[in-house]
Amino acid sequence: MYGSSGVGKSTFASELARSHRLKHVEIDLLAYDSEGAHVEHELLRERFHQALAAEAWVVEGMHRDELYRALRSADTFVWLDYPKAVVARRMSVRLLRHLIFRQRRHGRRVTVRSALKRELPFIRKTLASYERRRTHGQALMNEAAALGLRRHHPRSPSEAGRLVRSMNAGRAGTDEERA
C-alpha cells in the first residue's frame, strides 16, 4: 500500500490486517530507531526482509525500494491518492490531535517543540513533494500491473473506506473492473 503521508495508510492497513489476520508491516516503524533517526539502509533492508518472512502480510509506507520488493510477493496493490488539499487538511488535523491528546507518532510524544522542529517541516516537505510522490505512485501501479496484481486506486477517503469494507467482506475487484 502506497500513498502520501496523512492519507490513512496505517489505519487502512491495520484494519485490513486485523480482519484478515495478516501481519501489518509499517515500513516507517522499521526505518527509524528509538530516537527517531533513520536507520542505515542495510538495517532497514534486514528488518524488512524479516517482516516479509511472515506467511501473510499487508505492507504500507512510502519507501519505494521496500515496496518494489514487496510487490514481487504480493497479490494486491493499493495506492491511496487523495487531492493535495485533502492531504494538507488530514496532516494538519493529525498534528493537532497528537498535540491535544498527547499522542505518540513513531514512538515519540508530539510536543509543541517537536511540532515546530519536525512535524511542521515534514508537512511542508510532504506538500512540496506531492507531485513527485504521485509520479512514484503511478510507477508502482504500473509495476503492479506488469506483475499481474489486483490494483486499487482510491482517490478520496470515502472511496478508501468503501474499498476496505469490500476487501474485508471479500468482494473487492480491481479498479479496472469497477471502471
Q: What local confidence, expressed as pLDDT, does residue 173 receive?
A: 54
For the chain, the domains span 2-178
- Smallest Cα–Cα separation from 67: which of 125, 127, 26? 26
Q: What local confidence, expressed as pLDDT, does residue 54 receive?
A: 94
Q: What local confidence, expressed as pLDDT, does residue 104 receive?
A: 73
Q: What local confidence, expressed as pLDDT, does residue 177 receive?
A: 42
More confident residue, 23 or 110: 23
Residue 106 has pLDDT above 90, yes or no: no
Dihedral (CA of 27, 30, 35, 40) sign: negative
In one-letter notation, the amino acid at residue 171 is: R
Contact criterion met (CB below 8 Å) for 91 and 82: no
Residue 41 has pLDDT above 90, yes or no: yes
Residue 57 has pLDDT above 70, yes or no: yes
pLDDT mean across residues, the chain: 91
Q: Tens digit of pLDDT for each residue in 14-36?
A: 999 999 999 999 998 899 887 77
- In the structure, what pLDDT confidence band is assigned to residue 38 with cuts at 50, 70 and 90? confident
Contact criterion met (CB below 8 Å) for 109 and 29: no
Q: What local confidence, expressed as pLDDT, does residue 34 receive?
A: 76
pLDDT more than 90, % of the chain: 76
Q: What local confidence, expressed as pLDDT, does residue 26 receive?
A: 94
- Residue 21 burial by CB count (10 A; 0-12/13-18/19+): exposed, middle or buried? exposed
User: In terms of CATH, what superfamily is 2-178?
Assistant: P-loop containing nucleotide triphosphate hydrolases (3.40.50.300)
Distances (CA, A) of 109 to 8, 104, 115, 155: 19, 4, 10, 30
State the helix-helix crossing angle for 120-128 and 84-100, rounded to 10 degrees.
170
Residue 172 has pLDDT above 80, yes or no: no
- In the structure, what pLDDT confidence band is assigned to residue 175 with cuts at 50, 70 and 90? low
